[in-house]
Amino acid sequence: MYLSKSEIIIVCWYVYIVESPTVTSPTNSDTFTTNERTDITFRCNATGSPLPIISFFYDGTELTRDQGRPASMEDLLMNRVMLDSPVPLLNPVTGLYEVSRTLTLFNAVDGDSGAFVCSATADIPGSGMRADSVMFNLTVFGTLLIFCDSIIIL
């Protein structure tokens, strides 16, 4: 039996993978150390679908950029912080987005030591906003200066 043109039914199926965001690195146990007056870069990686949005926090304050200018946390540590643009990739095997973002702290000082948080958020259709976050610590070692006085007798 053959179908006429008027009897053909076309059925399309779309599979949309939905998975809450997961921060894959760093981990909660990660501790970073550096010396004063050096630069340090943190990389945060996350997966999920829809595309996760990665944010960094320091002492509970989000490190953001407002129209290309540093904003918040005393002008982002006086312009010593750089946030790059996220780099998303769609994994063809898992169907999940993989996104990476870096935070660079220039000319670190002892006062920069503390807890940083990498957070990945996504608005899941039908479920609302979902998030995953990881806290990691930075310790900045101060520079020890030793001055020696000499007495020269002639």
pLDDT tens for 96-144 read: 999 999 988 888 888 889 999 999 999 887 888 899 999 999 999 986 6
Helix (H) or strand (E) holding 66: strand 61-66
pTM: 0.73
What is the CATH number for 54?
2.60.40.10
Say if residue 18 is exposed, middle or buried (CB neighbours under 10 Å; 0-12, 13-18, 19+). middle
Q: What pLDDT score was predicted for residue 71?
A: 46
pLDDT at 6: 64
Cα–Cα distance for residue pair 22/6, rounded to 1 Å? 48
Number of independent structural domains in the chain: 1
Give a yes or no: residue 56 inside a domain: yes
The pLDDT tens digits for 11-57 are 776 667 788 999 998 877 789 999 999 999 999 999 999 999 999 99
Residue 83 belongs to domain spanning: 19-141
Domain assignment present for residue 46? The answer is yes
Buried b (16+ CB within 10 A) or exposed e, 31-66: ebebeeeeebebebbbbbbbbbbbbbbbeeeebeee
* pLDDT for the residue 70: 42
Q: At 80, give phi and psi (nearest 5°).
A: -100, 5
Residue 5, domain member (yes or no): no
State how far the Cα of 55 lies from the Cα of 104, in Å rounded to an integer. Answer: 13
The answer to whether residue 62 is domain-embedded is yes
Within-domain flag for 13: no
Residue 148 within any structural domain of the chain: no
pLDDT digits (tens, 9 = 90+) for 50-96: 999 999 998 888 887 643 444 445 545 556 778 888 889 999 998 89
What CA–CA distance (Å, rounded) separates 124 from 103?
Answer: 26
Q: Is the dihedral of CA 24, 30, 35, 37 positive or negative?
A: positive
**Residue 66 placed within a domain:** yes
Does any domain span residue 1?
no
Q: Within 10 A of 102 (CB to CB), how many other CB atoms are there?
A: 17
